Amino acid sequence: MNNQDAIAIIVEQSAIVAVVCDGCATSEPDLGNSDVGARLTAMVVAEEVAAHISQHPRDSLSSSIAAVEERIVVRLRSGITTLTGTHAVASFVRNNLLATILGVVIDAEDAVIFGCGDGLYATNAQLTSLPEDGDYLAMRLLSDDETSANTSAHLRVYTARKMHRTRNVMIATDGMQDLWDRYPLLLRQFLKCSEAGQKVGFTHDLLREFNRTIWFDASVNDWADTRDAHDDRSFVVIRRVKSVRRSSGRRRGGEHVARH
């Protein structure tokens, strides 16, 4: 089976937007392409969040999350209707577009984590696990008689933190939960690590650090080798690099994407 997770990252002059999505298994596996739907959803959410921030720089995401959600829904509905026509929207959504959403927006002042559905996020070394509640934003594309309990699915802001108090931010799909449950100390060690050797921008340093701290640990290796199957694990870590000076055309920060 293809990886059902997807990641999208947009780096602008004034902000970083990162999104992870986990595609939902369809009741009709021969017809479903949840991996494609997760990629499409991650891309649209990241682009629309970044566009809103660019067009409304004075708005906080916390106060404008409903407007951002509406942008996302309108774009998804327009694209799907163009591809399938009005009569096939429900089938397309149910078989391809149901995916959890977890994202973060970081600018010079704040880090805001938002989403719809399950997953995990961490600020510094404090991790929060979001419950599996069956919420999929794409259900808003269906008419009232095509939905049931999921009509209440909406984007939510989970936390907002000042960047000067935030060293690391991680967002992850729920496949990281078993790793966190078994090896919380190793994950905290990774999230608490020093700034030595960190570079600005996309870098492999964090992936090497994750492998060295967690994945190459003998106990983690033994556990992973004995598992017949596991959920896809995708995550984004964004780390503030304190030693970088503010200057024209540059900003403080470093980010990396990893999948296992």
Domains of the chain (ranges, CATH numbers): 5-259 (3.60.40)
Mean pLDDT of 148-153: 56
Mean pLDDT of 196-224: 82
Q: What are phi and psi of 164, to 5 degrees?
A: -70, -15
Q: Report the range of poorest mean pLDDT among 62-76, 133-147, 183-197, 235-249.
A: 235-249
Between strands 99-107 and 15-23, the pairing is antiparallel
Neighbours of 185 (CB within 10 A): 7
- H-assigned helices in the chain: 34-55, 61-84, 89-92, 177-182, 184-192, 205-210, 218-225
Residue 252: per-residue pLDDT: 37
Q: Report the range of poorest mean pLDDT among 38-42, 167-171, 210-214, 245-249.
A: 245-249
Residue 1: per-residue pLDDT: 60
- Annotate 39-52 with b (16+ C-beta within 10 A) or e (fewer): bbbbbbbbbbbbbb
Tell me: pLDDT of 135 over 90. Answer: no
Tell me: pLDDT of 76 over 60. Answer: yes
Nearest-5° angle of CA 119, CA 123, CA 125?
A: 100
Query: When comparing pLDDT for 145 and 119, which is higher?
Result: 119
Query: When comparing pLDDT for 150 and 139, which is higher?
Result: 139
Residue 253: per-residue pLDDT: 39
Tell me: pLDDT of 27 over 80. Answer: no
Q: Distance of CA 132 to CAs 4, 49, 118, Å?
A: 16, 24, 5
Cβ atoms 169, 113 nearer than 8 A: yes
How far is Cα 13 from Cα 82, in angstroms, rounded to an integer? 33
Residue 102: per-residue pLDDT: 97
pTM assigned to the model: 0.86
Tell me: pLDDT of 36 over 90. Answer: no
Tell me: pLDDT of 188 over 50. Answer: yes
Tell me: pLDDT of 47 over 90. Answer: yes
Mean pLDDT of 199-207: 79
Between strands 99-107 and 126-130, the pairing is unpaired
Cβ atoms 253, 106 nearer than 8 A: yes
How far is Cα 105 from Cα 15, in angstroms, rounded to an integer? 7
Neighbours of 199 (CB within 10 A): 13
